[in-house]
Amino acid sequence: MAATALVLFALGALVLLLRSWPFSKEEVVKSLEEASSSKVQIGSFQTSYFPRPGCVARDVVFRHQSTTPPLITIRELTVQGNFPGMLRKHVAKVTAKGMQVFIPQENKEEFKSSTDIVIDELITDGATLQFARDQNKPLEFLIHSARFHQVGGAKGFPFEVRLSTPIPPGEAEASGKFGPWKTGNPGATPVSGRYSFHRANLSVFEGIAGMLESSGRFDGNLEYIEVQGSADTPDFSVTSSSHKADLKNEFRISVDATNGDVSLESVDSQFRKTHVIAHGSIAAEKGRPGKTTELDLCSRSGRIQDVLLLFISDERSPMRGTMNCCAHVTVPSDLHPFLQQVELVGGFGIDSGNFTKTETQQEVDKLSAESRDQDDHDPATVVSGLEGHVKLTDGIATFSDLAFSIPGAFAQMHGNYDVISHKIDLHGNLKMDSSLSHTAHGPKALIMKVMDPFFKRKPKGSEVPVRITGTYEKPSFGLELGGKKETAAAKQLRQMYQAPKR
């Protein structure tokens, strides 16, 4: 009797399972549509009963009504279950081969999942994830492997993923916990874990180079994920320079995974002995394609030589000194050369600066000595109080309110500097402690002594128009006495200076 009852129970359970068999084509399509809030089509389908219940679906397509191309395509979807799990609405293992996921730029359809089936293990290898972009090729991530555990139900699920990133190209790994999914408010879906980013090639951004390594942790929900971590680029360089620097960063940012916007809460960067503190955003901006980077950055008691070495090819920086600066930087998303696309507005100051090139320092020393009415040239002459405002756009830095002092003279200037060709075009006035005649020697000095009264602005000395031209590596200092407002005395002095030597 007991054996008969056991057989009858087994037959009854089998009939119940067959009546609600979850691995038929119709039931699988229904389950997938409920889980993805999509219309699902299957090309070919094969079911299995023993020894393990399950099915194999090929050419599976998930499509939202307004989405083209399809949201998801899977070349082969294998579902493996077991009989005890079927009674608990659990599927032991799902493997997706040849999966492609396409995220449209604007998807206004709300994702809703109403399935109560739990997948114990979900595996996909060699998948691709694409994000649509304005008038550009989609941004594609190659997912080498992904493992998800206990997917579905009312609890979050653990995950591990390895993938390649397109911009910058590199290898990333992440593990943590995702969910549970918040139906009706997907941005509130929690996510947490740790990540690492390896061999990210920065040369994709034309104008800079280096291999970046980064690691950190993240926590929050999809519309506000807090990320804390560090990044190191030991061979960072600007391609116009021959110098490399170990660029280290400690950062705290937040990411909105629903639209890809990033808020840079705090970024502490160090290269050589200079620190730069920055905050800002990488986000969509009205009227501009893609994501625009906006940064507010400051450096206190940095070194000007550390900054200059990033942009020059000479062995030494042309200038040394303590630097303070603050600026607002804008970098559009389009990948034109970095130095041409970056925009900057800010102010700066350099204390106790001196030139490392003998020729340049000798010119400054000579100007200083003559301005102080001295015959000896102090080799320790420094440029102090160098400060001003700068606006950089299209590779041209425009300076205003540029001022600096050397012993015996004070200059106020304005003009342009080409950050790509390094050409200088600065103009302004130089106020000297000594008289103008001390800037010349021989017969010209006699004439200039007569001209001194016409150029004196203060009892201590003369104020003369000057210019700085040439290149940053080899600047040229000179008088500039021409122009629309040239006086008769200035014209006479200019003609005297232009007279050929005998």
Decide if pLDDT at 435 tops 70.
no
What percentage of the chain carries pLDDT values higher than 90? 30
> What pLDDT does residue 313 have?
79
Contact indicator for 194, 174 with CB cutoff of 8 Å:
yes
Decide if pLDDT at 25 tops 70.
yes
For the entire predicted model, the pTM comes to: 0.72
> What pLDDT does residue 173 have?
96
Decide if pLDDT at 224 tops 50.
yes
> What pLDDT does residue 337 have?
66
Residue 345 binned pLDDT confidence (cut-offs 50, 70, 90): very high
How large is the average pLDDT for residues 228-235? Answer: 95
Cis peptide leading into 168, omega within 30 of 0? yes
Residue 359 binned pLDDT confidence (cut-offs 50, 70, 90): low
- Of 160-164, 266-270, 454-458, the poorest mean pLDDT is in 454-458
Decide if pLDDT at 194 tops 90.
yes
Residue, of 54 and 438, whose pLDDT is higher = 54
Please give the Cα distance from 255 to 264 (Å, whole number).
9
Decide if pLDDT at 220 tops 60.
yes
Q: What is the pLDDT of residues 74-111, one digit of tens each?
A: 999 999 988 776 767 788 899 999 999 887 765 545 55
Please give the Cα distance from 481 to 494 (Å, whole number).
6
Residue 7 binned pLDDT confidence (cut-offs 50, 70, 90): very low
Residues 6+ apart with CB under 8 A from 140: 128, 129, 130, 131, 166
Q: Which residues of 366-396 are buried (b: 16+ CB within 10 A; e: fewer)?
A: ebbbbbbeeeeeeeebbbbebbbebebeebb
Rg of the chain, C-alpha, whole Å: 35
> What pLDDT does residue 482 have?
53
Please give the Cα distance from 397 to 418 (Å, whole number).
6
Complete DSSP assignment for 139-188: EEEEEEEEEEEEESTTS-EEEEEEEEEETTEEEEEEEEEE----TT-GGG
Please give the Cα distance from 143 to 128 (Å, whole number).
6
Residue 213 binned pLDDT confidence (cut-offs 50, 70, 90): very high
Q: What are phi and psi of 114, to 5 degrees?
A: -120, 10
Decide if pLDDT at 208 tops 80.
yes
> What pLDDT does residue 297 have?
93
CA 326 to chain centre: 18
Range with the largest mean pLDDT of 85-94, 141-150, 428-437 = 141-150
Question: If DSSP codes are grouped into helix, strand and coil, which group holds residue 472?
Answer: coil
Q: What are phi and psi of 385, to 5 degrees?
A: 60, 30
Please return the burial class of 272, using the count of CB atoms within 10 Å of its CB with bins 0-12, 13-18 and 19+: middle
Question: If DSSP codes are grouped into helix, strand and coil, which group holds residue 371?
Answer: helix
Average of per-residue pLDDT values in the chain: 77
Cα angle for residues 58, 63, 64 (degrees, 5° grid): 165
Q: What are phi and psi of 198, to 5 degrees?
A: -125, 145
How large is the average pLDDT for residues 482-487? Answer: 48
Q: What is the pLDDT of residues 271-308, one digit of tens each?
A: 999 999 999 998 877 766 677 889 999 999 888 888 88
> What pLDDT does residue 383 have?
61
Question: If DSSP codes are grouped into helix, strand and coil, which group holds residue 204?
Answer: helix
Structure tokens at 379: 């080799």
Decide if pLDDT at 217 tops 70.
yes
> For the chain, first and last CA: distance in Å?
134
Decide if pLDDT at 394 tops 80.
yes
Amino acid code (one letter) for 387: E
Residue 66 vs residues 36, 61, 108, 130, 178: alpha-carbon distances, Å: 15, 14, 9, 17, 27
> What pLDDT does residue 434 have?
56
Strand 118-133 and strand 93-103: pairing? parallel
Decide if pLDDT at 388 tops 50.
yes
> What pLDDT does residue 271 have?
93
Contact indicator for 221, 227 with CB cutoff of 8 Å:
no
Decide if pLDDT at 414 tops 90.
yes
> What pLDDT does residue 362 have?
52
Decide if pLDDT at 146 tops 80.
yes
Residue, of 381 and 390, whose pLDDT is higher = 390
> What pLDDT does residue 461 have?
57
Structure tokens at 353: 């600066």
- Of 169-173, 251-255, 271-275, 441-445, the poorest mean pLDDT is in 441-445
Residue, of 277 and 407, whose pLDDT is higher = 277
For residue 238, give the nearest of 275, 200, 203 by alpha carbon.
Answer: 203
Contact indicator for 374, 397 with CB cutoff of 8 Å:
no
Decide if pLDDT at 149 tops 50.
yes
Question: Which run of H or E residues covers position 16?
Answer: helix 2-19
CA 291 to chain centre: 10
Q: What are phi and psi of 459, to 5 degrees?
A: -60, -30
